[in-house]
């Protein structure tokens, strides 16, 4: 795919997520405040339209292939999330982050289970099929720790912040997020064996 805004996105392992403004200020659902990084970011209200990540979700909704199952989304002024089926701590996300002090957009996949070992297991499953999804996503995705939260994991990349009144930028971010969904979701589901009723019964009887 063509790189956004006339330049290649920086690959980075550093950065801090921005969940802004806090839920009480927006009245919206689905926003998440990460401890220590949930306050008002100076200047964001001057550059970002409230509907930007809603536009990303709208563009993404019509672009994904059939057969992935029921899609759920949430959007707020700091980003948007996409997941499938039941609520899960594994999802796709586009969110504002700070990279070396500069505003950027992170795009990709997050594993956010409370148990770090569960997140490592998800990433190991994806890493086992990396040759397949790298052909679709290219060299940009970074596999590693979550930006700003110990124990969480990611497969994602960062782009320079767009102009938030640019609808084309919203479509471009949606397109890249959709590529992550299409490339990673089959690998994420492969060999995943959440305990069913019979497994839970065996656990109770043991």
26-73 pLDDT, tens digit each: 223 333 222 222 333 333 444 444 489 999 999 998 888 888 888 899
Q: Give the pLDDT band (50/70/90) at residue 193.
A: low
Domain spans of the chain, in order of start: 4-205
Q: What is the pLDDT of residue 201?
A: 42
Q: What is the pLDDT of residue 26?
A: 29
Pairwise CA distance, residues 197 & 124, whole Å: 26
Task: Give which of 97, 87, 110 is closest to 29, Cα–Cα.
Answer: 87
Q: How many Å separate Cα 20 from the centre of its chain?
A: 16
Q: Give the pLDDT band (50/70/90) at residue 86.
A: confident
HSE (CB half, 13 Å, CA atoms) of 118? 12
Q: What is the pLDDT of residue 192?
A: 64
pLDDT per position as a tens digit, 95-119: 999 888 899 999 999 999 999 999 9
Average pLDDT score over residue span 188-200: 57
Average pLDDT score over residue span 145-173: 91
């Amino acid at each position: 795919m063509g790189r956004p805004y006339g330049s290649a996105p920086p690959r980075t392992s550093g950065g801090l997520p921005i969940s802004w403004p806090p839920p009480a200020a927006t009245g919206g659902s689905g926003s998440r405040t990460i401890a220590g990084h949930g306050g008002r970011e100076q200047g964001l209200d001057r550059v970002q339209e409230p509907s930007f990540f809603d536009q990303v979700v709208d563009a993404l909704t019509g672009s994904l292939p059939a057969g992935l199952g029921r899609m759920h989304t949430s959007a707020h002024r700091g980003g948007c999330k996409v997941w499938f089926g039941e609520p899960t701590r594994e999802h796709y996300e586009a969110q504002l982050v700070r990279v070396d002090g500069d505003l950027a957009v992170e795009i990709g996949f997050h594993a956010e289970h409370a148990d770090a070992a569960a997140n490592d297991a998800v990433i190991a499953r994806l890493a086992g099929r990396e040759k397949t999804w790298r052909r679709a996503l290219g060299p940009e995705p970074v596999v590693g720790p979550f930006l700003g939260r110990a124990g969480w994991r990611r497969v994602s990349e960062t782009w320079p912040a767009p102009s938030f009144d640019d609808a084309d930028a919203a479509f471009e971010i949606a397109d890249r997020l959709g590529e992550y969904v299409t490339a990673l979701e089959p690998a994420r589901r492969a060999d995943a064996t959440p305990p069913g009723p019979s497994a839970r019964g065996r656990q109770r009887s043991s």
